[in-house]
């Protein structure tokens, strides 16, 4: 029934919108995901959501152990509609959940054992962690991380704004993933579910329309 439901709901969309969904979903991935830990400035989290959407990252994990804030819709520019934002109340539970899903925990930090961004191995699923503006990542993340990466810089500045760091890292890593032979795209089931989810978001009074469809199917 869900396949028929999707076909019915998509009849309410323009052909251009349906084609755009197909195009965007073909570039989406869960091979790579992002986590931000207790970012203080609201616009930074919102900007990271926008970068995830722009570069094809389907999931963003937001840890709000200290700082719990709403998404700045103006900065995110609607990206929150297309990216799955998962909220966590503490860092340990976020790491545990990601590891259970098969992700390696990768901390962004100028750690002495860190790999330069350009040399990072993208063949395994990875969750890239970005920390607070002034303090960086917590000791919990640094202790439980499977790997470390950093963006090389040649100026006097020792660090970049978190949203800038995320954009640079995601652009490079996604380019590297797409040029590899690994299976990085969403599965057929994931594509179907996101297509259904996105289609629902585009239709006004979708609950009533779905109810009418299901009634007709039962007749």
Q: Is residue 87 within a helix (H) or strand (E), and if so which, with residue range? A: strand 84-88
Q: What is the mean pLDDT of the chain?
A: 89
For position 216, what pLDDT does the model report? Answer: 83
For position 57, what pLDDT does the model report? Answer: 97
For the beta carbon of residue 126, count every other beta carbon within 10 angstroms.
Answer: 23
For position 122, what pLDDT does the model report? Answer: 95
Domain residue ranges of the chain, discontinuous segments joined by +: 29-182, 186-219
For position 79, what pLDDT does the model report? Answer: 76
CA dist 215 and 125 (Å) reads 42
Q: Any idea what the Cα angle at residue 81 is, between residues 125 and 206, rounded to 5°?
A: 125
Fold of 29-182: Alpha/beta knot (3.40.1280)
Question: Do 35 and 129 form a contact (C-beta atoms < 8 A)?
Answer: yes
pLDDT in tens, 168-214: 999 999 999 999 999 999 999 999 999 999 999 999 999 999 999 98
pLDDT in tens, 40-92: 676 778 889 999 999 999 999 998 866 555 555 555 557 788 999 998 989 99
Q: pTM for the full model?
A: 0.89
pLDDT in tens, 97-108: 999 999 999 999
pLDDT in tens, 129-182: 998 766 788 899 999 999 999 988 878 776 778 889 999 999 999 999 999 999
For position 36, what pLDDT does the model report? Answer: 92
Question: Which residue in 86, 129, 73, 139 sits closest to 104, CA to CA?
Answer: 129
């Amino acid at each position: 029934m869900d396949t028929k439901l999707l076909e019915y709901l998509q009849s309410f969309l323009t052909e251009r919108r349906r084609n755009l969904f197909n195009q965007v979903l073909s570039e989406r991935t869960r091979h790579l995901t992002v986590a931000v830990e207790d970012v203080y400035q609201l616009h930074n989290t919102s900007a990271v959501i926008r970068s995830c959407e722009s570069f094809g990252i389907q999931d963003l994990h937001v840890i709000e152990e200290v700082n719990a804030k709403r998404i700045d819709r103006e900065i995110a520019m609607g990206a929150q509609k297309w990216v799955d934002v998962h909220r966590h109340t503490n860092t340990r539970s976020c790491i545990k959940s990601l590891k259970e899903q098969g992700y390696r925990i990768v901390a962004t930090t100028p750690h002495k054992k860190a790999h330069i961004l350009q040399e990072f191995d993208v063949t395994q699923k990875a969750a890239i962690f970005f920390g607070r503006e002034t303090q960086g990542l917590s000791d919990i993340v640094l202790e439980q991380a499977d790997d470390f990466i950093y963006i090389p810089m040649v100026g006097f500045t020792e660090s970049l704004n978190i949203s800038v760091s995320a954009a640079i890292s995601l652009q490079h890593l996604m380019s590297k993933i797409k040029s590899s032979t690994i299976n990085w795209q969403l599965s057929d089931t994931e594509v179907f579910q996101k297509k259904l989810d996105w289609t629902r978001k585009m239709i006004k009074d979708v609950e009533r329309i779905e109810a009418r469809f299901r009634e007709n199917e039962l007749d």
